Structure 1
Amino acid sequence: MTTTPTTTQSLPPSKGKLWLAAIKPPMYSVAIIPITVGTAAAFGETGLFDTKIFGTFLTSAILIIAWLNISNDVFDAETGIDKNKAHSIVNLTGNKSLMFWLANAFLGLGILGILLIAWWQKDVTVLSIIVLCCALGYTYQGPPFRFGYQGLGEIICFFAFGPLAIAAAYYSQSQEFSLLSLAPGILIGISTSIILFCSHFHQVEDDLAAGKRSPIVRLGTKLGSVVLMVTTALFFFLIGIFSLFNLFSFWTALVFLSCPIAYQLVSHVNKNHDQPAQVSNCKFIAVRLHFFSGILLTLGLILPKIL
């Protein structure tokens, strides 16, 4: 006599789903939003907008993020931290060398676009800033630095995708700097760093095994959830402060329409911070917060000039 098992195991993800997770389409918002917000800040203050430069810059930023995502998987494969990560692009292809050179090809194409902007403008300022951003991005996982393994990734992320990227996008339109662009740079830096911070909650064991001292490894998941709540609250508090001191117009209050996403993120992490399977999707909620708050901030920056 045979018996039917009373429990079933969940089926592993399909190859297509693993490839989708490896490519990380939602993560490309970290390329789109800084360039869009920086361009909007320049338009809002100067009225200048060059569609050719904006399109070229946006395409280059997406290519550079492709380099960053693929090269990070390559560098993680070297340390063994991704041995349990089925959607690592290196694990999927089984060819670390090919992925390394593909990443470099994306970087080369991205820098080529920035070189075009420098040639059109007869000015290497934007190129210099983006090269600095790429250098910072490399130090996150790349040897011999691997600063992300020391828990410094969020700081790198803040500057590279916040003040520096916003300043580069602003300058690409106006060929001048403005202290007013620092305010949106700080906000986008914070919202981008929140994405990276959230990516650590579900992989504490793997990080510990590989010697990676991420912020969540250092703080613990409970305190980490508190830090996330405070940082998210700070993001919206700063919008109010910047508006109060006339760095922003009242239109930037549109960003508060993203509060429900922020509440969902904070409450989800607070409830599931120590349950890797349940909290693993929090980084995608953080991506939604980053994207929609960035789009709303863009509207808040350009509407005063349009109206």
Structure 2
Amino acid sequence: MSVAEEKIKPIVEEIPSKGKLWYAAIKPPMYTVAVIPICFGTALAYGETGIFNPLIFVTFLFSAILIIAWLNLSNDFFDSYTGIDVNKAHSVVNLTGNAPLIFWISNICLALGLMGIIMINLWLGDWTVMGLIFACCFLGYTYQGPPFRFGYLGLGEIICFITFGPMAIASAYYSQAQNFSVSSLWASVLIGISTSIILFCSHFHQVEDDIKAGKKSPIVRLGTANGAKVLTTSTLVFYGLCILFTFLHLLPYSSLIVFLSLPPAIKMINHVHENHDRPSLVQNSKFIAVKYHFFSGLLLSVSLILNNR
């Protein structure tokens, strides 16, 4: 083959196997967005009060994972009706070809998750946690569910910040201590930011599909280059707040171990800056963001536990 023929040889993209598509559809790493707020809120309660109920913690953890499963599956279901996932091979609806089935499975996950929350409230003799989680579920529904579809207005990151930050962490804290803490409210901002960054990164590779479906995601509004700059700023704000909250004594000095999570944070920023306008390359940025979110949240949780000793 001549050099000229080699240059014009078409690039054949590897077609993902069914197994890889199902893995991408189920998104196991994404379930850390349920794990981290519960761990963080529980660690905050333990660090401040010394109270830890393992049964409530484990029940809350499994309930949160089931609620996230409902959120992911129902989002795929609702997106299938707007056409935004028409090119998304790893959509659960596209893989099964059965949207009603996915709808009912998602509702079963929600029902099971709420049953766990009800059990926690019965053990506490207090329905405060149920009220907070119900509000979280409602906000989660408004992200893609009709008639709201706030995600299509570019409000997804705000919803994500509120539900996975202050509301989820306040719920986990209250489930252990049965009261609220001002410092926990401020500290929850950190988890809200890191969780919103995951959603923000998920928009970079689907700008064209979002525009066609009329979805005004932050990246559609900003453009990918400006979006990469916002990502950098948001990450810097996260670490800046960690320092600020430490010196204001809202977090213990041990929380500065969160800076051990800088490698995935830097990798995420560099990857998006280099590939923000190349969908096939930037699409895995959300999984790098998941790693940053998980390790930063885990390190903060560990620091809070150590603070009680």
* TM-score normalised by L of structure 2: 0.97
260-269 vs 125-134, which moves further: 260-269
Matches within 5 A, 1:61-210: 61-210=64-213
Matches within 5 A, 1:289-300: 289-300=292-303
Instruction: Summarize deviations over 1:143-182 as a string: whole Å, max 9, x none.
Output: 0000000000000000000000000000000000010111
The offset of 1:65, in angstroms, is 0.2
CA distance in 1, matches of 2:223, 2:154: 13
Matches within 5 A, 1:14-25: 14-25=17-28
Q: Output the amino acid matched with 2:193.
A: I
Instruction: Summarize deviations over 1:262-298 as a string: whole Å, max 9, x none.
Output: 1111111111111111111100000000000000000
Instruction: Summarize deviations over 1:70-89 as a string: whole Å, max 9, x none.
Output: 00000000100000000000
1:43 aligns with 2:37: no
CA distance in 1, matches of 2:66, 2:223: 34
CA distance in 2, matches of 1:80, 1:64: 24
The offset of 1:191, in angstroms, is 0.2
1:254 aligns with 2:257: yes
Q: CA RMSD in A?
A: 1.2
- Count of matched residue pairs: 304
In the alignment, what sits opposite 1:240?
Answer: 243
Maintained 8 Å contact 1:76/1:141 = yes
Secondary structure of 2:13's partner? coil
In the alignment, what sits opposite 1:301?
Answer: 304
CA distance in 2, matches of 1:231, 1:10: 34
Secondary structure of 1:120's partner? helix
The offset of 1:260, in angstroms, is 1.3
Maintained 8 Å contact 1:258/1:293 = yes
Instruction: Summarize deviations over 1:57-100 as a string: whole Å, max 9, x none.
Output: 00000000000000000000010000000000000000000100
The offset of 1:6, in angstroms, is 4.5
| Alignment gaps of 5+ in structure 1 | none
C-alpha distance 208-7 of structure 1, shift in aligned 2 (>3 A): closer
| Alignment gaps of 5+ in structure 2 | none
Secondary structure of 2:88's partner? coil
* TM-score normalised by L of structure 1: 0.97
In the alignment, what sits opposite 2:269?
Answer: 266
In the alignment, what sits opposite 2:14?
Answer: 11
Instruction: Summarize deviations over 1:4-59 as a string: whole Å, max 9, x none.
Output: 99445123100010000000000000000000000000000000000000000000
Maintained 8 Å contact 2:42/2:57 = yes
CA distance in 2, matches of 1:161, 1:6: 48
